[in-house]
Structure 1
């Protein structure tokens, strides 16, 4: 199996990520590290680990999706894990997922995940999700999206290369939320999603170089386009009540997040909502703010927050 690790200015964390691969109980893997034009010491650190199993390549900066695609084209494994250079996996993860993948051909294998802060794995914030079980692919997407958000961080999953070859690689035009587009089309092309309770991804929060921290117009447009594509993939497969409602909640979460800063994109999302059921997710707010929302509405409250 092949692990593909893009890195951009990840000198603080890449050693920990690589060590978590080296420490796996499963040993029949290759790690392909793609340095995406880092300006720090990421490449030098990665090259210290270089051997017959750990291969290091460097390319000009063109984004994480392009780096993942570059690495995939160099990979030789029939099972693929895309793994970010600031995260960590538990030592049993790959063994458990490979075992399930061999027993369940053409399925995507998932696992657990939790956030950790201040570079301290002991303060893991683990919140079990309804989709942490074996599910039909469409049901997994609908369940994952039900609350208007989806966690498809790449290191959680193990994917047969045959599925990637059939559905296509990462969309290099996307930056923010590129994982949503990739994993929606990938999971929908699989037979099922099989859950591995022994597999854990430790997701680092607070990294200033992570894609999740991106802001600005380009990031907003990428988020919108990724949601637009992902929803189209789902609704082309199913227009069940669950699919339509999950799509509505995804759009509503976009509106809550980007109003009023990206009014044109919010308007487009609101137009999409007119063709879907009424969203069921509420504007995220404290108890005090919820009272104000009942009086003034969430849009006025969010506008006021800019000045508070």
Structure 2
């Protein structure tokens, strides 16, 4: 029997966008078996827009406002009754045509995984692609670049950046999604779910752009930092509490948790890891000494058999002497630093290539130099010596400084020849 797929859409005050969202689902190359929408007490004419899609098979419900997390959970409960997979689509986002087909294919290829997410692109309120230099575009580029490095664990990657970004980017086995409902958070109800899935090693990334995430003035996430930071801190405390028993008993789960927590110190999302430690200190202050001693005494596991970070003690000298990454910075931090160095190096190379192109253009634009080349008096200016762009640029600048033809041209009044003869090597 073919696997059944449902797409669920929570809608709130998105009359302008929800039609596009639904059209993107109806245009899928692999048609979903069910499309369910609940309007969460919209004050605009969202319900009217939704009702116009009922004749095309969309199941529409409407009720009073209960919040996005409750609406998603309600939709999942309905879809899970007869569907094997559920994709979530926020009412202001859009799917690309192959999303369902390719997520379903990935699920078939990875039967041990429960959650499937893809790359995305950012669109504006009018549905146009955001420029690459727009702040949100740059953020997503940076977030996805972090995970492009070889050997990055998803729990580590997700701790540093919520690159999955949105519940729209969740396509999951219905049983897993139903068993792990969204939590009561205003801004980040997806992050607890995703972080848990990462620690359980249940996330599979489909490395293709298969959805469009819309950024506009009425996004829930568009807020001042304080409410979001506080909600992230509360989420972390909730996360620790929820997983406390498994952290105590499951060494593999703990290992992923370590990578996750370590990477949060370099988070580019809204998590302030230092304030999380302050919050933990407040909790410790409410615990008496006997309880603290009991907590420490109950900790067991293979970590107790060796000194922590033993390997680092033998590499401290080598790291310091080579000017490398400080010991304890973590594998992801090291890869990020190396990536920054690569970006800086590539930027310098691009600037050098541009300078070389400008110099060659100056040579080609001068009638005096063209005459010298035709007469054979300026052959040295055709040089392309050197392996790197900088070596080639230095070689050509040197040829300009030493060219007798340019020297003659400078004496007879050529401004270009005079400027080229004065080039410095960098």
Q: Which residue number corresponds to residue 83 of structure 2?
A: 77
Q: How far apart, in 1, do the equivalents of 2:130 and 2:229 lie?
A: 31
Paired with 2:126 and 2:155, the residues of 1 have a C-alpha distance of 31
Structure 1 counterpart of 2:231: 222
Residue 188 (structure 1) shift: 3.2
Give the 3 Å change call, closer, same or farther, for CA 159–273 of structure 1 in structure 2: farther
Distance 2:47 2:151 in 1: 39
In structure 1, stretches of 5+ residues that fail to align are 257-265, 283-308
Distance across 2 between alignment mates of 1:100 and 1:228: 33
Cα shift at 1:3: 1.0
**What is the deviation of 1:255?**
3.4
How many Å apart are 1:155 and its aligned residue? 1.6
Distance change >3 Å, CA 118–CA 140, structure 1 → 2: same
Q: Does 1:238 align with 2:254?
A: yes
Instruction: Give, in angstroms, the shift of residue 109 of structure 1.
Output: 1.5
The answer to whether the Cα contact below 8 Å between 1:4 and 1:80 also exists between their aligned partners in 2 is yes
Note the alpha carbon deviations across 1:149-194, whole angstroms, 9 max, x for none. 543311223111122244x2111x2111111112222343354x32
Query: What is the aligned partner in structure 1 of residue 121 from structure 2?
Result: 114
Q: Indicate the SS of the match to 1:110.
A: strand
Distance in 2, matches of 1:169 and 1:252, equals: 22
The 8 Å contact of residues 35 and 57 in structure 1, kept in 2 or not, is answered as yes
For structure 2, the residue ranges without an aligned partner over 5 or more in a row are 248-252, 285-327, 338-426
Task: Identify which of 89, 107, 123 aligns with 2:130.
Answer: 123
Give yes or no for contact 1:130–1:144 (8 Å, CA) kept in 2.
Answer: no
**Match in the other structure for 1:145:** 159
Q: Does 2:210 align with 1:200?
A: yes
The answer as to 2:101 corresponding to 1:92 is no
Larger RCO (alpha carbons 8 Å, 6+ apart): 1
Aligned length: 265
CA contact (8 A) 1:176 1:214 kept: no
CA separation of 1:149/1:4 partners in 2, compared to 1, >3 Å: closer, same or farther?
A: closer
| Aligned-pair Cα RMSD in Å | 3.5
Aligned equivalents of 2:75, 2:56: Cα separation in 1: 16
Question: Hey, what does 2:169 align to over in structure 1?
Answer: 156
TM-score in terms of structure 2 length: 0.54
- Residues 124 and 46 from structure 1, CA distance in 2 versus in 1: closer, same or farther, beyond 3 angstroms? farther
In 1: Cα distance, 2:103 partner to 2:269 partner: 34
Partners of 1:6 and 1:41 lie apart in 2 by: 15
Please list the CA deviations of residues 20-44 of structure 1 after superposition, one character each: whole Å capped at 9, or x if unmatched: 1011101143111110000110011
- Work out the CA distance in 2 between the residues paired with 1:122 and 1:204: 9
- Whether 2:189 is the aligned partner of 1:178: answer yes
Counterpart mapping for 1:29-68 below 5 A: 29-51=33-55, 53-68=57-72
Indicate how the Cα distance of structure 1 residues 244 and 123 shifts in structure 2: closer, same or farther if over 3 A, else same. Answer: closer
CA distance in 2, matches of 1:6, 1:247: 30
Instruction: Evaluate the alpha carbon distance shift between residue 155 and residue 129 of structure 1 in structure 2; reply closer, same or farther with a 3 A threshold.
Output: farther
Q: Whole-Å Cα distance in 2 between the matches of residues 18 and 132 of structure 1?
A: 32
What does residue 19 of structure 1 align with? 23
- CA-CA distance at 1:119 after TM superposition: 1.8
TM-score, normalising length: structure 1: 0.73
CA distance in 1, matches of 2:34, 2:60: 11
Q: Does 1:247 align with 2:264?
A: yes
The structure where helix makes up a greater share of residues is 2
Instruction: Classify 1:239/1:267 alpha carbon distance in 2 versus 1 (closer, same or farther; 3 Å).
Output: same
Q: Is the Cα–Cα contact under 8 Å of residues 255 and 270 in structure 1 kept in the other structure? A: no
More strand by share: 1
